[in-house]
Amino acid sequence: MKNTLESIAPPVADKKPHKLTIHNDTRIDNYYWLNERENKEVLDYLNAENAYTKTMMKHTEGFQGALFEEMKGRIKENDTSVPYKLNGYWYITRFEIGKDYPIYARKKESLEAEEEIMFDCNKMAKNHAYFKLGGISISPDNTMAAFSTDIISRRQYTIKIKNLKTGEIYQDEIKNTTGSITWANDNKTLFYTKKDEETLRSYKILKHVLGTETTKDVEVYHETDDTFNTFVYKTKSKKYLVIGSSSTLSTEYRILNADKPHGDFKIFQKRTKDLEYSIAHFKDHFYIITNANKSTNFKVCKTPEFNTTKENWKDILPHREDVLVEDIEIFKDYLVVNERENGLNRIRIMHWAGTEDYYLPFDNETYNAYIGNNPDFESDTLRYGYNSLTTPSSVIDYNFKTKLKDIKKEQEVLGGAFNKANYESKRIWATARDGVKIPISIVYRKGIKLDGTNPLLQYAYGSYGSTIDPSFSSIRLSLLDRGFIYAISHIRGGEYLGRHWYENGKLLTKKNTFTDFVDCSKHLISEGYTSKKHLYAYGGSAGGLLMGVIINTNPELYNGVLAAVPFVDVVTTMLDDSIPLTTGEYDEWGNPNQLEFYNYMKSYSPYDNVVEQNYPNLLVTTGLLDSQVQYWEPAKWVAKLRDLKTDGNTLLLHTDMDSGHGGASGRFESLKEVALEYAFLLDLEGIRH
């Protein structure tokens, strides 16, 4: 790439030194001015970077187009979800050929009944560069749908209400919400979550009565602790409205009978430092997943519905050191538990009477299984999902009584070329520098030789306890079929091997996340899967932070790196509590207003640690309207890398001027960015078709 276009000069951002001083320590930020979103000079710079990227990648434009069509061609355009039944109606989401957005429909009582289209997002998205339908909440009497839309891409949703009988959209309009809406049982009272205009923190629960002025909506709850976010929902039993408050390390719930929406919410169990819990209601009890009493991997308890404080909680599934409880689903006869042992999902079926207790069988070495949509207590059927790195996603109904599985749908991979027998997946283990074993899930096309010549894309995330499961991707086939190996490193900071895996990859142990990734890279090289000339790394958001660290510490290991919406200016962002999400992140990264965390954070923050050295080829992507990682972080980072790097490798910044953290909104539009990323990697390998 660099050889054919060396004569093209990249943009150079002006240096405007800005002093940042705290703890008697001064940092000079030459590119601080890039945070002025409305400044023409800033926009000109971003546009110049986009133009440079376009020019540098111009020779791949035909290939990008071919990759886009190839990836799109595997996806069934006229696709339909597996219907689910709720309160007398079957609900279906479907796509039509040639259209980018979903259509939400329902049928009364029978799947043979006439279809009723509730929302056609293709019509709603017209004239918008970005469009997303957030939540849809159907009134208990089935006559109305409260729905939310975002046309900016900052996750600030506007709520409206539609009469499903007449098609009329009422005048009620509520702005700046999370997009989630909950009906009380009276069919006229709605609860929703308001966002702080500046920080975008979900901080207030309000109540709206249909037909009244939204300016007169009643504030039901105000979350004053700026490290907490709040939300509202209704229990599966439909009996209780629930207001939740959560931070990284503690939770609190308030409950109210949904038949009495103008009553007062009662605290379920008041917040306590490091106490996490979630609740589900069934008959005359609440069921609780909690880490109470040092249950690091969580346990399941029950408590009478009118005695909900912690001293009343009784274990029904005790804590286990080697099994993480992730989720539960309640049925009239069965409790279903989603567990994780040694990194693998397990679905456990437990009869309330104690007569049955068993696991659904899964026979893959590395896979992803999860509980699906099960809105009905009375059902004899559990809906769950399954896929693996080589097996497309399936939606499966399992009958508790007959023990039979019914595959309702398996993801179709169109184009005629896909056969799962052509691919192989496995799980290997790398040894980290402190002796800990790190699992890596790998997939590749059968027949490759492990002689170090294979290009390999290594992916990881490693933050917030978020587990990256080894899931199927039809898009990824465009790399696998061209000889790439794909590897997911299940590094510390996620929860793949249980809660301790997360605890040992955050705050003052955060560097384990980065060194684990590097040690996995070295293992993949030493075992012959790839070599330094053919190893590529990819991460987004907090995974983009990971990318920033590894190219500072070990640039020699990677030929190319993809960093999507990367969180790279850690210290400055975590010191600015006006930025969305900052205060709620202190439990993850630490609060740099405290010297110990400041020093630790500064020691790894990618932007603060860019130095004069060679860096790998790098493609950085961001969105101008991103509310989670502000566009200026990657923009400043690229500007600083341009100034200091000592190599002739390619460095590209692509900013989507219309979207935010999640990228483009259309079903296929986002594939254009993937095509750019894949073309970048494949071009570095000399693969151009």
Q: CA-to-CA distance for 445 and 422, rounded, in angstroms?
A: 6
Could you give phi then psi for residue 282, rounded to 5 degrees? -150, 125
First to last CA, the chain: 15
Q: Which of the pair, 587 or 597, is modelled with greater confidence?
A: 597
pLDDT value at 2 more than 80: no
Instruction: With CA atoms as reference, report the closest residue to 262 among 308, 213, 220.
Output: 220
Q: What percent of the chain has pLDDT over 70?
A: 97
What value does the CA radius of gyration of the chain take, rounded to a whole number of Å?
26
Token couple for 489? 């490193």
Confidence band for 647, pLDDT divided at 50, 70 and 90: very high
140: three-class secondary structure by DSSP: coil
Contacts of 398 (CB under 8 A, 6+ apart): 360, 381, 382, 383, 384, 404, 405, 406
| pLDDT of 141 | 97
Highest-confidence range of 212-226, 580-594, 617-631, by mean pLDDT?
A: 212-226
Q: CA-to-CA distance for 309 and 293, rounded, in angstroms?
A: 14
Q: CA-to-CA distance for 310 and 301, rounded, in angstroms?
A: 10
Instruction: With CA atoms as reference, report the closest residue to 118 among 94, 151, 96.
Output: 94
CA within 13 Å, CB half, 354: 2
Q: CA-to-CA distance for 664 and 658, rounded, in angstroms?
A: 8
Count the neighbouring beta carbons within 10 Å of the beta carbon of residue 83. Answer: 16
Could you give phi then psi for residue 149, rounded to 5 degrees? -135, 150
364: three-class secondary structure by DSSP: coil
Contacts of 293 (CB under 8 A, 6+ apart): 319
Q: Which of 397, 661, 665, 683 is catalytic?
A: 661
Overall average pLDDT of the 168-194 stretch: 95
How would you classify the pairing of strands 617-623 and 560-564?
parallel
CA within 13 Å, CB half, 549: 27
- What are the respective helix, strand and coil percentages of the chain, to the nearest 5? 20, 35, 45
| pLDDT of 7 | 60
Burial status of residue 433 (CB atoms within 10 A of its CB: 0-12, 13-18, 19 or more): exposed
Could you give phi then psi for residue 122, rounded to 5 degrees? -65, -40
Overall average pLDDT of the 50-55 stretch: 96
Q: CA-to-CA distance for 567 and 564, rounded, in angstroms?
A: 9
* 626 part of the active site: yes
Residue 331 contacts residue 382 (beta carbons within 8 Å):
yes
Residue 181 contacts residue 148 (beta carbons within 8 Å):
yes
pLDDT, tens only, 512-556: 999 999 999 999 999 999 999 999 999 999 999 999 999 999 999
Angle at 77 between CA 72 and CA 80, to 5 degrees: 135
Overall average pLDDT of the 5-30 stretch: 91
Beta-ladder partners of 659: none
Confidence band for 628, pLDDT divided at 50, 70 and 90: low
Q: CA-to-CA distance for 365 and 70, rounded, in angstroms?
A: 29
Q: Which of 217, 397, 626, 656 is catalytic?
A: 626
Least confident of 153-167, 205-219, 579-593: 579-593
pLDDT, tens only, 444-492: 999 999 999 999 999 999 999 999 999 999 999 999 999 999 999 999 9
Q: Please give the mean pLDDT across all residues of the chain.
A: 94
Confidence band for 580, pLDDT divided at 50, 70 and 90: low
* 643 part of the active site: no
pLDDT value at 420 more than 80: yes
pLDDT value at 661 more than 90: no
pLDDT value at 663 more than 70: no
Question: What is the length of the chain?
Answer: 689
For 27-90, give the secondary structure using H, E and C: EEECCHHHHCCCCHHHHHHHHHHHHHHHHHCHHHHHHHHHHHHHHHHCCCCCCECCCEEECCEE
Instruction: With CA atoms as reference, report the closest residue to 344 among 561, 126, 495, 450.
Output: 495
Q: CA-to-CA distance for 34 and 46, rounded, in angstroms?
A: 9
Residue with tokens 């996340």: 513
Beta-ladder partners of 314: 302
| pLDDT of 584 | 72
Instruction: With CA atoms as reference, report the closest residue to 162 among 126, 194, 136.
Output: 136
pLDDT value at 355 more than 60: yes
Beta-ladder partners of 540: 564
Q: CA-to-CA distance for 521 and 516, rounded, in angstroms?
A: 9
Instruction: With CA atoms as reference, report the closest residue to 299 among 287, 311, 308.
Output: 287
Q: CA-to-CA distance for 621 and 619, rounded, in angstroms?
A: 7
Q: Which of 471, 541, 659, 665 is catalytic?
A: 541
pLDDT, tens only, 152-162: 877 889 999 99
Q: What percent of the chain has pLDDT over 90?
A: 88
For 321-356, give the secondary structure using H, E and C: CCEEEEEEEECCCEEEEEEEECCEEEEEEEECCCCC
Count the neighbouring beta carbons within 10 Å of the beta carbon of residue 414. Answer: 13
Q: Which amino acid is at 580?
A: P
Token couple for 296? 């690091």
| pLDDT of 680 | 98
Give whole-number Cα distances, 551 to 28, 543, 561, in Å: 21, 13, 8
pLDDT value at 69 more than 50: yes
Overall average pLDDT of the 305-322 stretch: 97
Token couple for 480? 């696998």
pLDDT value at 3 more than 70: no
381: three-class secondary structure by DSSP: strand
Q: State the alpha helices, DSSP H only, in 422-469.
A: none
Q: CA-to-CA distance for 342 and 365, rounded, in angstroms?
A: 11
Instruction: With CA atoms as reference, report the closest residue to 476 among 678, 229, 212.
Output: 678
